[in-house]
Amino acid sequence: MPHDQPASAPGPAPADASDHDPAEAPFLGLLATGAAAEEYERPVLRARAGGAAAARLAAMERAKLLALRVRTELEDRRRREAELSALYATAHDLAGLRDLDAVLRAIVRRARSLLGTEVAYLTLNDPAAGDTYMRVTDGSVSARFQQLRLAMGEGLGGLVAQTARPYVTDSYFHDERFRHTRTIDSGVRDEGLVAILGVPLLLGSGVIGVLFAADRRERVFEPGQVALLAAHAAHAAVAIDTANLLAETRKTLTELEAANEIIRDRSSVIERASDVHDRLTELVLRGGGVQDVADAVAEVLDGDVEFTEPGRAPAAALDRSRADGHAVRDGADWVAAVRAGGEVLGALVLRGHPALDPVDQRTLERAAMVTSLLLLARRTAGEAEQRVRGELLDDLLDAAARDPRLLRERAARVGADLDAPHVVLAARMSGAPISDGDGPPRPDGTDRRRLWSAASHLAATRHGLAAVRDGGAVLLLPLDRDGDPAHTAREIAARLGTALHVPVTVGASAPVPAPAARPAAVADAYAEARRCREALCALGRAGQGAAAADFGFLGLLLADTRDVDGFVRRTLGAVADYDARRGTELLRTLGAYFACGMSPARTKDELHVHVNTVAQRLERVGRLLGPDWQTPARALEIQLALRLHQLSAAVTHETEE
């Protein structure tokens, strides 16, 4: 033993017990208790102070970032749910009010609550004076501000009233987009307002006022908040119109008390208007659909009411209704545009009613407005679900170390079972360019957006997932127990092509037994599906669907799992089974036939049999493999399968020895 060998170094200090806990454990507790964002730094600081290893600290940093991301996503979802609940609560509250002042106070109070601002207020247009005036405020402390009047085009509110478009400013006094006046600026300064958002109260195509939300500090109003206040303003305009209509009705009844005949004549119309108002309100509150609205209006108006898509509605009448904001007559029918802002979503068509009472006309128009709200709500919910499905699939593809339990929980929320066998499919429209990144389609990627929408809808109907990736779409769909990935690929290619009216090429992976248990297998399967898709395009088979098994021996190169036995079985299984059952030598004859240059005469010498025997055996092979077995392509696959079979048999023999 050498004398200069150093003494053994002392062993490492015993690790703290907490070093053996999962890095994410303290952050899961913080998520469960809803802790503030700054609390997530403390476990890392304690670990660092306790002398935790660098690897442990790095793992905790990653767990912290992931937990903060989850916390942000949860807060965003809670906020979206709260906004949607508040919007429906607003519709419920406004529907129960009949007095105009009570309606206006409720509108402003709810607007302030929805956006969490310090001040909210509402101005109404004065057609006689040609200006707009402050009608109701909530949170205001300045008497001068509460008595403001704005000429059309003056200040932010005057600009909203004049253009019928929302405007927002982060800092009112530094914003030069609208005309400042001494009177308005003095009132705003007196109130101390800085950030202001104003949306128009639209009734038909006209503006009846402006609804504002404001803060006394700089603030950025997000697009979602602008849309939320605009949706609230749509409810508010309907409620104001209803309150005004009811007030006008009461006045009319008072003035016509002596005219019993007129009262009786009008009462049925008023009852129908009230009935449809209550019915439509009930439909909104219980989550009814577009067809429910059409059925309710048809019953009240005693006619046939149908919702039609924009392309199927009478074009000229739809354009007039959209521009005018009212239902218009089209021959013996009436057409009311269903629109949201500048977008036409369809039309309600009342058929066979050439003479329509003005109140019934307004009923049809209100029904069109309610229909637009239902369609927007359905679209919002659908897009939210699509995003959730896409984010889950992105996590499966990008983060192999995801917690299987969390994956299962997230999948269950959208009706997916990630413990069942699945297949990964890569789809792309023919000629669609490959994007330079992942994520939702860009606004200018119309084709990719259409593909994403169609794939998401298809995934939702099959309890699967879909996302946008690499210029195309990727789907993770359940596979039946006896399901064939190639059949699924062809079916999905056909369905997407029919939906988009363009060829869609789809490659499929081998089955993924349980994606939640092995998330890394999903990424590998996606790579295999992409290779199959690109192989289809390279072979001039764009617009079709296929899996690796469809490519014969090329499938061995395309698939992540080199299934040699499966390839041999698919190619020569019928011949091998026949030999096993009958004790024949068809496989040996087939090998000798190819080895002898496909010459029966030379084959019979190789096998030491009569040439007729060779011919009979080859005839039997043809019946088992099909009449095209000697074509160049099939012959190549058969020879490769024979060679692999021989090598496999030789390896087995050596192993046994």
Distance CA 490, CA 344 (A): 35
pLDDT of residue 254: 72
Residue linked to tokens 């792309």: 428
Closest CA to 100 of 230, 271, 239: 239
Q: Go through 274-287 and write b for each residue having 16 or more CB atoms within 10 A of its CB, e for each that does not.
A: bebbebbbebbeee
Alpha helices in 435-513 (DSSP H): 446-461, 485-500
Share of the chain above pLDDT 90, in %: 8
pLDDT of residue 74: 75
Report pLDDT digits (tens) over 178-229. 888 888 899 999 999 999 999 998 888 788 889 999 999 998 998 888 888 8
pLDDT of residue 213: 93
Least confident of 14-23, 333-342, 347-356, 640-649: 14-23
Least confident of 105-119, 241-255, 441-455: 441-455
Distance CA 477, CA 421 (A): 9
pLDDT of residue 617: 84
Least confident of 104-118, 252-266, 269-283, 596-610: 252-266
Distance CA 657, CA 427 (A): 49
Residue 86 confidence class, pLDDT cut points 50, 70, 90? low
pLDDT of residue 435: 43
Distance CA 5, CA 7 (A): 7
Side chain identity at 85, as an amino acid letter? Answer: S
pLDDT of residue 169: 92
What mean pLDDT is predicted for residues 615-627?
A: 83
pLDDT of residue 167: 92
pLDDT of residue 599: 83
Q: Is the pLDDT of residue 5 over 50?
A: no
Report pLDDT digits (tens) over 538-555. 767 788 888 766 665 454
Copy the structure tokens of residue 98: 């009949």
pLDDT of residue 652: 45
Distance CA 504, CA 430 (A): 6
Indicate left, alpha or beta for 431 from its phi (over 0: left) and psi (-120 to 50: alpha): left
Closest CA to 396 of 532, 239, 525: 525
Distance CA 634, CA 636 (A): 5
DSSP, residue by residue, 209-244: EEEEEEESS--PPPHHHHHHHHHHHHHHHHHHHHHH
How many residues can be counted in the chain?
657
What mean pLDDT is predicted for residues 42-52?
A: 84
Three-class DSSP labels, 373-442? HHHHHHHHHHHHHHHHHHHHHHHHHHCCCCCHHHHHHHHHHCCCCCCCCEEEEEEEECCCCCCCCCCCCC
pLDDT of residue 230: 87
Distance CA 547, CA 558 (A): 9
pLDDT of residue 4: 43
- Does pTM surpass 0.85? no
Q: Is the pLDDT of residue 243 over 60?
A: yes
Least confident of 27-41, 74-88, 377-391, 558-572: 558-572
Cβ(392)–Cβ(469) under 8 Å? no
Q: When comparing pLDDT for 13 and 70, which is higher?
A: 70
Taking residue 656's Cβ as centre, other Cβ atoms within 10 Å add up to 6
Report pLDDT digits (tens) over 405-450. 887 888 788 788 888 888 889 898 875 444 444 444 443 456 777 7
What mean pLDDT is predicted for residues 165-177?
A: 91
Distance CA 620, CA 572 (A): 13
Q: Is the pLDDT of residue 79 over 50?
A: yes
Closest CA to 135 of 239, 211, 190, 36: 211
Side chain identity at 534, as an amino acid letter? Answer: E
pLDDT of residue 379: 63
Q: Given strand 304-308, what is the order of strands in its sheet?
A: 304-308, 343-351, 333-340, 328-330
Cβ(327)–Cβ(204) under 8 Å? no
Give me the chain's average pLDDT, please. Answer: 77
Q: Is the pLDDT of residue 118 over 90?
A: yes
